[in-house]
Structure 1
Amino acid sequence: MNSLGLSLILKMGCICAKETVVVNGRKYTVREHLGDGGFSTVSLVEDNLTHKKYAIKKMVCHGPEDQRLAVKEIEYHSIVKHPNVIECIDSTHRGTADPVVNATSEVLIILPYYHKGTLANELERRARTNDYLSARDILNIFLQICEGVKAFHDVKPEPLAHRDLKIANIVLGEAMTPVIMDLGSVTQARVKVCGAQAAQTLQDIAAERCSMPYRAPELFNVESYCMVDERTDIWSLGCILYALCYFKSPFDAVYERGDSVALAVMSANITFPENAPYNEDMQNLILSMLKVNPMERPYIYTVIENVHDAIAKLESRV
């Protein structure tokens, strides 16, 4: 594959000549550029044999650490299998990253293509006309997202954390089925931080890989001696539930204004728009996850239990 040709096509966002990508003997034709992550590009491709559409995630690795992380991402796909977590259909990696001789390697992951786009796209569309989802729909979507997160937290012997849960990392299948994607930030959930250097390292990784408006407070300012666990994801889930109700994370406005998200998150000053059609129960469910002290946050099992209770309460009112 001519990687320069592909990168030019990705930059231009158009197909001037049909670019072909080969993964383990299967040929795919690049149809369009779908988006860029911090470390990857995603394109829409078509299988030359079946004409089925897929998304292909291409990661260019500039050094051994990049390569290790990209290969680890493929590994996490094989560990976490759940209907609400995106499936890896195929993958390959080429070359060896060596910064000394300026050599890069490529990791390609073939993923299902979700034509409905992301939850962020859906909420953006709804925000334009204040088209609120019903409380029942919100809880049903959120419950499925939680079930997907539980698949990470359930991994044995050590739980995994996604660490970049946000509405832009959830694609929508048929009947608004949410599917968690982008396993590039997945890591061992429980980290024992011993010393200032370890704290700084974790803080730097979080700054690089966890989106600010959804990042847990303990990742903004990592203490020198502490334990970080899977409840970083619970904070992100609180932000996602807020966004399902009000179209954006509670910290998006701060981020867009260019004010300090870290400060807003640490103070957890959560305000709720007045005109939205949700009662106090929904707000309390959101607030139960947005606790600044991670030790006060519930684990995923309790969150799922609370969502089931909220759904039962809604249904009893009908």
Structure 2
Amino acid sequence: MGQTICICSRGTITIDNKRYFFIQKLDEGGFSYVDLVESVQNGKFYALKRIICHDKEDRKNALNEVEMHRMFNHPNILHLEAYCIMDKGPKCEGWLLLPYIKDWAAQRCTISYRAPELFNVASHCIIDERTDIWSLGCVLYAMMFLEGPYDGIFHRGDSVALAVQNVITIPEGCRYTQALQHLLTSTMVTNPQERPNITWVLNQTKQLLQIEAVQETKLA
């Protein structure tokens, strides 16, 4: 846990002997703030979560959050870059330096399969399994039509970020059932809060397989 110095006049902080420029406040909650900072060393952006600790219990909870981050090492889980406890008189702050999710997503998700909310990560935006449901929908689309829904747009050099804001359209003359088309369009709803979870997707898939099995039995 390195020494942390706040140099307010220059808008910089130092964590583990590495300096970061303060860029802007991203969000705030009841007992924490999230700021966007930029590394002086390499220009990369990070999210700095500042947890306000009023007493020893709050400090313990902040350190427990640090340990929870350290328990997991997976490419789909945000990695804790650094942390420290910043003493401020009777109070203190737990500082957690995390990857900036917009940059993190750009490194890990192919642009033509990236959910709309990952192009412009707004405050209070919830990133959960439904973000992956969108990518799953893109894979299903590619399986049905032999090309991803935004592959052509990407290869033409047009903006995928703008294209994903529009309602997905099914190509004319689609030979697949309405039930399968409904599954596809449901997974690719622009608003992530209106997208189904994985349990719904699995149940719909099972129903489609059962229908297909019954039809094959009738034809046999």
Q: TM-score, normalised by structure 2?
A: 0.53
Structure 2 partner of 1:249? 148
The structure with the larger Rg is: 2
The 5-angstrom pairing of residues 125-204 of structure 1 reads: 185-187=75-77, 201-204=100-103
Q: 1:91-102 counterparts in 2 under 5 A?
A: none
Assess if the C-alpha contact under 8 Å between 1:199 and 1:222 holds in 2. Answer: no
Tell me what 2:134 maps to.
235
1:303 aligns with 2:201: yes
**Gap change, CA 1:212 and 1:228, over 3 Å in 2:** same
1:313 aligns with 2:203: no
* CA shift for structure 1 position 299: 1.1
Task: Give a deviation string over 1:206-264, Cα, whole Å, max 9, x none.
Answer: 12221111111111110022221121110011111111111111111111111100111
Cα separation, 2, equivalents of 1:203 and 1:233: 15
Distance 2:160 2:99 in 1: 18
Residue 278 (structure 1) aligns with: 176
Q: Which runs of 4+ in 1 moved over 3 A?
A: none
Task: State how far apart, in whole Å, the 2-side matches of 1:201 and 1:242 are.
Answer: 29
**1:199·1:223 contact (CA, 8 Å) conserved in 2?**
no
Q: How does 1:21-36 map to 2 (within 5 A)?
A: none
The alignment's C-alpha RMSD in Å is 2.8
What is the number of residues matched between the two proteins?
129
Contact 1:185–1:210 (8 Å) recurs in 2: no
Equivalents in 2 of 1:230, 1:187: separation in Å?
12
User: Of 110, 122, 132, which residue of structure 2 is paired with 1:211?
Assistant: 110
Q: How is 1:97-112 mapped onto 2 (pairs within 5 angstroms)?
A: none
Where in structure 2 are there 5+ consecutive unaligned residues? Answer: 1-40, 42-67, 79-96
Partner of 1:109: none
Distance 2:107 2:195 in 1: 24
Q: Mean alpha-carbon deviation: is it higher for 221-230 or for 251-260?
A: 221-230
Query: 2:101 is matched by which residue type in structure 1?
Result: L
Secondary structure in 1 aligned to 2:176?
A: coil
- The one-letter code matched in structure 2 to 1:241 is L
Q: Deviations over 1:12-53 (max 9, x none)?
A: xxxxxxxxxxxxxxxxxxxxxxxxxxxxxxxxxxxxxxxxxx
Pairwise mapping of residues 22-61 of structure 1 onto structure 2 (< 5 A)? none
